[in-house]
């Protein structure tokens, strides 16, 4: 293995994240390369230095702020949510339906037709007999000759 190929393996070697076969390969290179051995030691030192940084704890209000953000989220509605009426609309619709049914089933208090005072139309100016036009006033009934149209093809 060349020093160039160590570049992608050196850190994994330091962390012990290499596969057994790769580990052996790197170890073999390190046995014969002082520069890479030094680099491994330096990377180990860097890694140890990074461990010295303290871990901070979130502030006391952290969880409460997350809860507040979550609580402020609008509730998601499904695609079919619009089919579900809101309680107010459902209440108003039910009331209207009940009122319609109640009004429809109520007995109607109308007087019988016979008892109603129907208006009588009276007209003294109109004489039915004199206004009658007898059939004789009509034109003469057509004769048989009139019915035989010359254009009508005759039976032979």
Partner 1 sequence: MTRSDVQLMLDVKAGDPQSFELLLQRYRTPLVNFLYRMVRSREQAEDLAQEVFLRVYRAREDYEPSAKFTTWLFRIATNLALNSLRDHRYQKLEISMDAPILADAEDGEERMMEVADEHPDIEQHLVEEARKKMIRHAIDKLPEKQRAAVLLHKYQELDYSEISKILRCSESALKSLLFRAYETLRVELAPLVAKAVKH
Chain contacts with partner 1 (rule: CB under 8 A): 7-12, 15, 17, 38, 41-43, 45-50, 52-59, 62-63, 65-66, 69-70, 73, 76
Q: To the nearest whole angstrom, how small is the minimum distance from the Cβ of residue 35 to partner 1?
A: 13
Tokens of 78: 């499904």
C-beta of 56 vs 156, nearer to partner 1: 56
Q: To the nearest whole angstrom, how small is the minimum distance from the Cβ of residue 50 to partner 1?
A: 5
C-beta of 58 vs 119, nearer to partner 1: 58
Radius of gyration of the chain (CA): 56
C-beta of 28 vs 37, nearer to partner 1: 37
Q: To the nearest whole angstrom, how small is the minimum distance from the Cβ of residue 5 to partner 1?
A: 11
Q: Is 140 exposed, middle or buried (0-12, 13-18, 19+ CB in 10 A)?
A: exposed
DSSP assignment of 22-72, as one string? HHHHHHHHHHH-HHHHHHHHHHHHHHHHHHTSPPPPPPTTHHHHHHHHHHT
Q: To the nearest whole angstrom, how small is the minimum distance from the Cβ of residue 92 to partner 1?
A: 30
C-beta of 76 vs 155, nearer to partner 1: 76
Q: How far apart are CA 78 and CA 90, in angstroms?
A: 19
């Amino acid at each position: 293995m060349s020093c160039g190929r160590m570049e992608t393996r050196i850190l994994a070697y330091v962390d012990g994240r290499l596969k057994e076969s790769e580990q052996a390969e790197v170890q073999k290179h390190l046995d014969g390369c002082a520069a890479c051995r030094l680099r491994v030691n330096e990377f180990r030192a860097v890694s140890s230095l990074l461990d010295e940084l303290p871990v901070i704890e979130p502030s006391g209000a952290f969880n409460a702020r997350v809860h507040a953000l979550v609580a402020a989220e609008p509730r998601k509605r499904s695609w079919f949510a619009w089919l579900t009426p809101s309680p107010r609309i459902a209440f108003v619709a039910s009331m209207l339906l009940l009122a319609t049914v109640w009004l429809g089933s109520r007995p109607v208090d109308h007087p019988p037709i016979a008892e109603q005072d129907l208006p009588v139309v009276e007209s003294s100016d109109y004489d039915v007999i004199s206004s009658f036009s007898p059939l004789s006033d009509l034109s003469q009934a057509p004769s048989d000759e009139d019915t035989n149209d010359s254009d009508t093809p005759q039976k032979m």
